[in-house]
A and B are shown apart, each in its own frame.
Chain A
Amino acid sequence: MVVLEIYSKCLPIKYKTYLISKATFFTLILRIISVIAPFVIVYNSRAFWLKQDSFYEQPSVHFRGEYIFGALTNVATSPIFCSNYPFLQKYAEFDRCPLVKVIEVTKNGDDKIDELQFSVTVDITELEIVSFYLILTLDYSLHTVCPMKMQSAIIVQNNGQSFTRDITLNAQLGLFQFEPLGCHQHKTNKRYNYPIVNEKEENTNKFDLSRILEEYNLRNVSTRLINEYMTQTPRKSSEFVLNLIIQYPIHHVYYTPGFWQEVKWAWIQFLSVFVIFLWFTERIIQYVFDNRLVPFYEVSPLKKTQ
């Protein structure tokens, strides 16, 4: 008949000694080391605390319908300024834009806008455009890891050639961050959800582009055009046409992880090193007590107590 080992259990052997003794001190030191040393090693090998993390997401971007087109011409008294901001209509005498077109295109049927086509036609009879800028305001929002909603902009600046009449700009919308995004999974970050062009008193009296750009540039999170490719067509015409084709790609977003994400990541690192230290310290303690290198007395269930 075959004999099988179907069950086994350990008999605990107790090693006892006084509080103030070599064995107590030795065991305590080793236990402390087994806990502290993994911390030191993990911390010094860097990235113990997860200070930032990142994710990829295609944002929901919508054109807010507000635009500003400004151009300097060869005639100082005839600048061109077109806008549909109500408070900027006081400069309507400089409005020479008879036609503005906007198409927002969804290419893959996921209900997210993938491309913005914008076109502005400027009547420049007898004038030559020296330089121009264009501001389009956007609603930008993220929904997955780090919900965020902000008002951002597409800003185009160009020192145009006087003979150019058609400019087509192909570009992509990029996300620019100074620092990781403050993030809460169930709370939408609306820190920058305010207008790019503020209807402040100082702006209404004299439209100040440099102030808008300065404020926008100081934002921690902003959108700007990347991978810009511009084609220009010289033409003698009374109209100047600026075409924009802007793609909205997937954005790489940096954010500050929450408390539990940091603790989870740190705990995994600590635990992986602690297990090794624990094994070593257990071996050392076992060696010391097996060889009776420190005084103690042993309580074994196999030996009858006197």
Chain B
Amino acid sequence: MILFLLMVLHYVAMDPSTVTPVTETSTELTTTTPVSSSTMASVTSTQTPINHTSFDGDVDTCTCNLHRNICDLNCCCDKDCSLEDKNVFSHCVREINVMRYTSFCRYTDYIYINNTPYEWEVNQNGLFCIVKTNLPSKRAVQTHQAITSLEQSTLHKRDKYSWPDIEADRTELTSFANESFVYGSPIWILKNQVLQKFELADSFMTNACVIKRDIKYLENFRSVCIQTNLSEGNIHLQIETYFQNISVIKAPQFFNVSEISSCPKNVCLPIEVKECRENCAPLSPQTATTCQFYSTQFNCSNLAHKIIYNLYHNGTYGLTTVELLLHLKDLVHAPDHRFEFEQEFQVNFFWRDSTANYSQLLSGNPGYLLGKPVLVGTVNGSRIERNSSVFRENFLTFPASRSGLCVLNDDVHVVSEFGCSMLLRCGVRREIDAGNSTATELCRRIQTAIFEFWPLSSNLSAINRAFGAFGNANETVAEWVEALSAESPEAILNATYGNFTGDANDTLICGNVTATLKVDVFHARVAYRSLMRQRRIVGVTYSFGARKRATFTIRGGVLEWNVLIREELMFFDVTSKHVEKFADPPSFKIRLPYDFFYPFVKVDNSGGVPRLCYLVISFSIIGLLMPIRLSL
């Protein structure tokens, strides 16, 4: 089948294209003056009837005609435009969606030349163009059925992009349901006889307390945000907000909504409140948040600084006890400053019979997890001692810097993180009553005070510190790595000396004082039974910084000293190349029966000892027979 009947080679030497006005376009065509030959050298002005061999498309479509009965500007195909109207046109809007079969030698198009907007038949005179075709006319067919049902519309929407249904994934329980607790269930409280979800403040985008987050069953929660409004109306600063007239529902299945007013205490659990400053004690009835304005500033007392809910539970049977620890803070605020008061909210879940025991906390099982604290203990003979109630006795900690000064206690410290190398720096400032102490004694007291901030044992004769080889090390010594050190703290202490100088011996010069501790932890990823890449500590070394000379001043018999101390913790990965080693192949010992050479050897009861002559003879015979067999 031939697609093209005739394809003629056209060659136009002067101009590759010419256009011819179409005679059967609008009526104005017949009244127009032919285009001057000077400007239309390439345009054939003969108004020949359109040749059926050209492709003229659908003459009724005029996509730029957007106003009925009004002439659209620069729309040359708009029938509403008279010839005079078209004189104002500067060009013809070219519709790109019209099928123009430019492969034909002649086809119809709108071209605006020299203020004569007409429909022109283009004679492209290309090198190769189709003069005539016998193919039937073709049309693009697309079926568009009207959507008459919602199912069809849903079908059409499938696999298409649309706005997400923002309400589709609201799986949160918005209403109270008498269902058993599972991990993540909302916790409900009764506040002023109103059933509501347990929510605590949190920050969003900024650090201000601007949103509330639902507390979920067994999901620990912690948020830190600031209150910016110091007024009596801000109830979040008042401690009563967090416990007064509030009871916590033990579990939804035990609570009857119709008995809100008479909820028993074993279902609507009361909150046991403790106030904490240095230590925690039951809340005194006199303790209340107050803010008073004195002349130029606000004096506030007992502001809720840390709000910690400890919820004890019994699995699916719900909560058993609710404890609230309120850390209180006093504040003085000048009104001309911006008010910002930081609050911390915590919700911790504990099993009913559990107690705080830091030695039970693992940093990996067995291999250390990145970011978990490093286990430490004190070596005592064949056992490792850890005071399970003191965090610092169980994990490697360093002093934190608060306003440049070292602070190391149960609340404030820097916890080591496995794999995280650290540089720490803070100042130690103390006052010592010089009394009758010698200079060396004073200097050693300074050095001892520095040692107190470092992870050393109370016995300074050795480092005496061990580190858990794995994150789950128990008390057995074999599971711990003892820290190595070239010198003991006691040796450093003994090397420290001091002298008084100055007119009134008011200057203390200390020599051989060290203020830098370097802890190097060597770890490797090893295979442990069927587990690969378990991080294990293979060695820990302590080293002390350079001995320095320091000068202090004694005023009024009191030595005020200030030393900058540094700690450097470095982790070294010493993982060796992993080589898979297989067991040796089984060895086969092939032996002849002991009486195989019976005629030639003497066999006794013990298995036989070959006599030399028989042995020689037997091997000679075998040696002679072998070539014969091979030659066969």
Given contacts A105-B370, A111-B575, contact A98 B207 (CB under 8 A): no
What are the 7 tightest A-B residue pairs by CB atom distance, in nearest-first order? A98-B401, A100-B423, A236-B340, A235-B207, A103-B420, A102-B421, A98-B425
Say if the beta carbon of B426 comes within 8 Å of chain A. Answer: yes
Complex Cα distance, B424 from A100, in Å, reads 7
Closest to A63 in B: B421
Q: How far is the CA of A95 from the CA of B400 in the complex (A)?
A: 16
B410-455, CB < 8 A from A? 414, 417, 419-426
Q: Apart from A101-B421, A102-B420, A123-B403, list 11 A-B contacts with CB within 8 A.
A: A96-B404, A98-B400, A98-B426, A100-B422, A101-B417, A102-B421, A103-B371, A123-B404, A236-B338, A236-B340, A237-B342
Interface residues of A in 215-266 (CB under 8 A from B): 233-238
Of residues 191 to 231 in B, which have CB atoms within 8 Å of A's CB atoms? 206-207, 226
Is A158 an interface residue, CB under 8 A from the partner? Answer: no
Residue with the highest number of chain B CB atoms closer than 10 Å, among A97, A102, A104, A111? A102
Q: Verify A234–B207 contact, CB threshold 8 A.
A: yes
Report if B533 contacts A (CB, 8 A). yes
Cβ contacts A to B, 14 pairs, < 8 Å: A65-B421, A84-B423, A101-B420, A101-B421, A101-B422, A102-B421, A103-B370, A103-B421, A117-B420, A123-B401, A125-B404, A236-B340, A236-B342, A237-B342
> B206's closest neighbor in chain A, by CB?
A234
Docked CA distance A65–B414 (Å): 20
Residue on A nearest B414 in the bound complex, by CB: A99
Interface members, chain A 104-142 (any B CB < 8 Å): 104-105, 109, 111, 117, 121, 123, 125
Contact of B226 among A95, A98, A123, A235 (CB under 8 A): A235
Task: Tell me the minimal C-beta distance from A143 to chain B in angstroms.
Answer: 15
Known: A105-B370, A234-B207, A235-B207. A97 touches B419 (CB 8 A): no
Q: B425, A103: Cβ atoms under 8 Å?
A: no
CB-CB under 8 A from B417, the residues of chain A are 101, 103
Evaluate contact between B403 and A236: CB separation under 8 angstroms. no
Q: Which of A53-106 contact B (CB under 8 A)?
A: 65, 84, 95-105
Minimum Cβ distance to chain A for residue B149 (Å) = 47
In the assembled complex, the Cα of A238 lies from the Cα of B371 at a distance in Å of 25
Which residues on A are within 8 Å of B, measured CB to CB? 65, 84, 95-105, 109, 111, 117, 121, 123, 125, 233-238
Q: Which residue of B lies closest to A125 (CB)?
A: B403
Asked, given contacts A105-B370, A123-B401, whether A99 binds B207 with beta carbons under 8 Å apart, the answer is no
Q: Which residues of B contact A237 (CB under 8 A)?
A: 342
SS class, residues of chain B in contact with chain A: strand
When distances are taken between beta carbons in the complex, the residues of chain A under 8 Å from B340 are: 236
Q: Measured between alpha carbons, how far is A70 from B342 in the docked complex, in Å?
A: 28
Q: How far is the CA of A103 from the CA of B570 in the complex (A)?
A: 10
Does A99 contact B423, Cβ atoms closer than 8 Å?
yes
Q: How far is the CB of B278 from chain A (nearest CB, A)?
A: 22
* Cβ–Cβ < 8 Å partners of B533 in chain A: 109
Docked Cα-Cα span, A37 to B478, in Å, equals 80
**0 or 1 for each of B331-342: is its CB under 8 Å from A? (1 = yes):** 000000010101
Which chain B residues border A117 with CB–CB below 8 Å? Answer: 420
Q: Which residues of B contact A238 (CB under 8 A)?
A: 403
Most B CB atoms within 10 A — which of A101, A111, A238? A101
Q: Which residues of chain A have C-beta atoms less than 8 A from B424's C-beta?
A: 98-100
Q: Is the CB of A97 within 8 A of B421?
A: no
Q: CA–CA, A102 to B420, complex, Å?
A: 5
Q: How far is the CB of B625 from chain A (nearest CB, A)?
A: 52
Q: Are A97 and B425 interface neighbours, CB within 8 A? A: yes
Give bound CA distance, A226 to B226, whole Å. Answer: 34
B310 → chain A closest CB, angstroms: 27
Chain A neighbourhood of B570, CB < 8 A: 65
Shortest Cβ distance from residue B159 to the other chain A in the assembled complex, whole angstroms: 32
Q: Which residue of B lies closest to A239 (CB)?
A: B401
Bound CA span A123–B575, Å: 36
- Chain A residues with CB under 8 Å of B426's CB are 98
Taking the closest CB of chain B, its distance from the CB of A135, in whole angstroms, is: 15
Closest CB-CB distance, A234 to chain B, in whole Å?
6
Which residue on A lies nearest to B425, using beta carbons? A98
Report the separation of the CA atoms of residues A87 and B340 in the bound assembly, to the nearest whole angstrom. Answer: 41
Question: Which B residue sits closest to A236, measured CB to CB?
Answer: B340
With A and B bound together, what is the CA distance between A272 and B417 in angstroms?
A: 62
In the complex, what residues of B have CB within 8 A of residue A233's CB? 206-207
Q: CA separation between A121 and B423, bound complex, in Å?
A: 10
What's the Cα separation between A96 and B404 when bound, in Å? 8
Whole-angstrom distance between the Cβ of B363 and the nearest chain A Cβ: 15
Among B320-363, those with CB < 8 Å from A are 338, 340, 342
Chain B positions within 8 Å of A104 at CB level: 419
| CA gap between A109 and B206 in the complex, in Å | 37
Contacts A234-B207, A236-B226 known; A95 to B425 CB distance under 8 Å? yes
Query: How far is A24 from B206 in the complex, measured between Cα atoms in Å?
Result: 91
Please indicate which of the listed interface residues A104, A117, A236 has the most CB atoms of chain B within 10 Å of its own CB: A236
Complex Cα gap A120–B457 (Å): 29
Which residues of chain A are within 8 angstroms of B338 by Cβ–Cβ distance?
Answer: 236
Query: Please, which residue of chain B has its CB at the minimum distance from the CB of A67?
Result: B423
